[in-house]
């Protein structure tokens, strides 16, 4: 089995996870609007779904190798940073599941938000530290390796962006209680997602063309 096939399988699982998450979230929202489900039940179910999404993403993160980019040097610590991020997300996801299954809803929302934000800050800081190798010149790779890494980045970076954006949105929304505020923040986050996603795709395409 080639590296490419194993890599694609991990990405496919993450994409399916996201689609499942989006479908479940939309179904729950519709059920609440139509009055089939109580608001508290929907909030708890959303927390559990987000927990599953975090566990799935964290599990496959080290396999997808997002830091395996040309210039990220050295390769060993980069893989260790990816593994640690994966473990962090899996543990945070399990904490989400336990909190939303057992704890009072208010506390579950508050604690899970803080955990989610803390994990994102930690992962962003450690990855920025690792990625500095790419900015400073770092490892010299062959043109073929650079092209393969650019293709991989085109798949995994948008996925990870979507995941972290969804987690940031959930963390922000869970800290709010006023329904009007929640709707307003959700709308701005939704708009911001597409703007940032478009900018990200432009940057990735430029990088790919420059390789």
Q: What is the crossing angle of helices 143-174 and 3-33, to 10°?
A: 20
Token couple for 31? 């059920």
Pairwise CA distance, residues 98 & 52, whole Å: 11
14 neighbors 60 (Cβ within 8 angstroms): yes
Please report the sign of the dihedral spanned by the C-alpha atoms of residue 33, residue 39, residue 42, residue 43: positive
Q: Give least dist CB 77 to another protein, A.
A: 8
CA distances from 202 to 8, 95, 167, 198 (A): 23, 36, 23, 6
- Chain residues binding another protein by CB under 8 A are 1, 3, 6-7, 9-10, 58-63, 65, 74-76, 79-80, 83, 86-87, 90, 145
Q: Give least dist CB 60 to another protein, A.
A: 6
C-beta closer to another protein: residue 47 or 86: 86
C-beta closer to another protein: residue 60 or 174: 60
Nearest to 43 by CA among 93, 100, 112: 100
C-beta closer to another protein: residue 129 or 188: 129
Q: Give least dist CB 118 to another protein, A.
A: 18
C-beta closer to another protein: residue 82 or 116: 82
Q: Give least dist CB 17 to another protein, A.
A: 13
């Amino acid at each position: 089995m080639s590296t490419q096939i194993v890599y694609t399988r991990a990405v496919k699982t993450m994409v399916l996870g996201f689609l499942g998450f989006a479908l479940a979230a939309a179904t729950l929202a519709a059920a609440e609007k139509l009055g089939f489900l109580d608001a508290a039940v929907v909030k708890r179910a959303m927390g559990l779904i987000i927990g599953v999404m975090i566990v799935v993403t964290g599990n496959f993160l080290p396999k997808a190798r997002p830091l395996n980019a040309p210039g990220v040097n050295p390769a060993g610590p980069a893989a260790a940073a990816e593994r640690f991020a994966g473990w962090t997300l899996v543990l945070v996801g399990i904490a989400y599941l336990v909190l939303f299954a057992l704890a009072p809803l208010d506390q579950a929302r508050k604690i899970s938000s803080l955990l989610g934000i803390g994990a994102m800050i930690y992962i962003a800081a450690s990855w920025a530290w690792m990625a500095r190798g790419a900015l400073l010149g770092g490892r010299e790779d062959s043109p073929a390796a650079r092209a393969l890494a650019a293709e991989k980045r085109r798949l995994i970076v948008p996925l990870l962006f979507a995941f972290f954006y969804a987690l940031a949105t959930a963390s922000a929304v869970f800290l709010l209680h006023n329904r009007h505020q929640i709707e307003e923040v959700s709308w701005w986050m939704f708009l911001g997602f597409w703007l940032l996603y478009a900018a990200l795709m432009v940057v990735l395409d430029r990088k790919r063309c420059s390789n």
